[in-house]
Each structure stands twice: as C-alpha cells, then as structure tokens.
Amino acid sequence: MSKKVAVLIKDKDRQYEGLRSSLGLLMEFHVVSMFVLNHEIELTEEYRDNMEFIDEMEGTRYSNVSANVKKYGFKPITLEEVAQKLIENEVVIPF
Amino acid sequence: MKILHILRSEPNEMVMNFIRETSKNAVSLELPIYGEEVDYDQLVTEIFASDKVISWW
Amino acid sequence: MAEKLGICAATQGCFHHVLGLTRAAKAAGKQVEIFLTGEGVHLTQDPRFSELLEAGRVGVCEVSYIASGYQGKAVPGLVDKDFVTQARNAEMVEECERYIIL
C-alpha cells in the first residue's frame, strides 16, 4: 500500500541522494513531497534529468528558497508550512 | 497519536520548530542518540510503541 | 508474522547505531531490513559488517557503491542480488511497520 512520504533535504551535498531517493519512492507508487530547505540547488545534468522525472511521476517539489522557486520551478513554501506538511505525511525522511 | 523524535545530532532552531509543530495534538518523546550511550533496547521499544517515528539529522 | 523495522543508512558514521538497533530489534522478535545508500555504502567496509549480516537483511544501492569507488569489490557475505536499486528503499517504506533513516 502506498504511503504519503516527505523527503527533507537541507544540505547541498545531500541534494542528489535525496532526489534519487524521492524518485525511487515515486516509482513504487508512494505519494512523495520533496522539500529542499535553506540552500539553492546546484543544477547538474543528472539533477535536472531526475528532477524532470519527479515532475513526470507527479511528485511535488517544494523549497523555502526563492532562487529554487524562480529558476527551477519548485513550489514556494515557508518553514512554518513545511511543519504542517510533515503532520500530513505518514513517513518523514530527513535526508 | 504517539510520535517519537530520534535526534541524530543536536537540533538547530529549524528542527526544534519542526519537532514542536509536529508534536501538537500528540504525545511526543525525544530520544537523542548523539554524544551519549544509547540504550538500543529502549529505542526499539519506543520505535514500535510509537505511531510515527522521525529520525532527525 | 514479525513486525519489521526498516533502516536506511545514508551516512558514514552510523555503523554502531545500525548494528545496535538491528541487534536489539532482532532480540525483540522483529525483522530488520537495511538499505545502504549514498555514504552509507561505506558501512560495507566496517570490520564488523559480518555481524550486521547475522542480524538483518542488507541491500546495498549499487549506484552508490560504484560511485564510491568500489566497483568490482566483493563484500564477504553479500551476493549480486544484494546490490539493489532505490526501489528496495521504497519497498521498505511500504512493507516495514517502522522506518528510520540514519
């Protein structure tokens, strides 16, 4: 049975692992929200490709960093709103 | 609803806020596993006694 | 059927926690599924790794293992089928009553 899963990524050096994990969860039909917090992503080719898969698989990408919203299409969110989202998700993974 | 917060390192302000907000309307327990001896038997007991477990950074 | 604990190990310095939790869970009658990914694949090189295999089922992210420079390096106690994709992690989230990341 699929679960609602929140993946939290706060460090740039974990950005790609967190993204890969989010994608893996989506491919097994979980409902995934990925939150990139407090840093602008570094858009490598691999990151861009996998980020596009996240969108195709209907995962949701949120960030509290405006550069991620403006440049890379993340949905804007505040840390207060993130906290509320964490309540809604059955599984929370601080990656 | 019982929620267990496992702390892998000293929580910063953001994490403390997340813990506070997600613990509203719940019975919550914080168990640090950094900087001290960990009672893994107790940790396993609490993991399975909780409805939700979050292992913070 | 025994309840399952899923452990995703994604950091390098967490071996003692993974082993401690796995042993305690097994002693409490639980099954333990472990997935090593990212820096967590370095746990395969710990001298006590075989002790972990005695207590839980371990899968290693093959992509992370190769990216960490271990391509072609065998791990005693692991076979080809233990080198897996991120799907294993997603299965753990689905199947395990409790799931944590370390």
Residues B14-42, mean pLDDT to the nearest whole number: 95
Q: Check whether C22 has a pLDDT greater than 90.
A: yes
**Tokens 């990216």 appear where?**
C67
pLDDT of residue C1: 82
**Are C90 and A84 within 8 A, CB to CB?**
no
Confidence category of residue C68, pLDDT binned at 50, 70, 90: very high
User: What mean pLDDT comes out for the span A71-80?
Assistant: 97
Question: What is chain C's mean pLDDT, rounded?
Answer: 96
- B40 and C21 Cβ atoms separated by less than 8 Å: yes
pTM exceeds 0.90: yes
- Which residues does B contribute to its contact with A (CB < 8 Å)? 14, 17-18, 21-22, 24, 52, 54-57
Strands C31-36 and A4-9: unpaired
Question: What pairs with residue C8 in β-bridges?
Answer: C35, C101
Helix ranges restricted to H, B1-57:
13-22, 40-49
Per DSSP bridges, beta strands C31-36 and A60-63 are unpaired
B11-29 average pLDDT score: 96
State residue B50's pLDDT score. 97
Amino acid at C82: D
Domain holding C71: CATH number?
3.40.1260.10
Domain that includes residue C39, residue range? 4-101
Instruction: Enumerate domains of chain A plus CATH numbers.
Output: 4-94 (3.40.1260.10)
- pLDDT grade for C7, boundaries at 50, 70 and 90: very high
Nearest residue of chain C to residue A28 (CA atoms): C90
With a CB cutoff of 8 Å and minimum separation 6, the contacts of C56 are: C7, C22, C25, C26, C31, C32, C33, C34
Query: Tens digit of pLDDT for each residue in C44-60?
Result: 999 999 999 999 999 99
pLDDT confidence of residue B36: 80
Q: Domain coordinates of chain B in residue numbers?
A: 2-56
* pLDDT value for C46: 96
| Number of domains chain C contains | 1
How does residue B12 score in pLDDT terms, banded at 50, 70 and 90? very high
Residues A6-26, mean pLDDT to the nearest whole number: 96
Model confidence at B35, pLDDT cuts 50, 70, 90, reads: confident
Residue in B17, B24, B54 nearest the CB of A92: B54
Q: How far is A87 from chain C (nearest CA, A)?
A: 16
**A44 at the C interface (CB within 8 A)?**
no
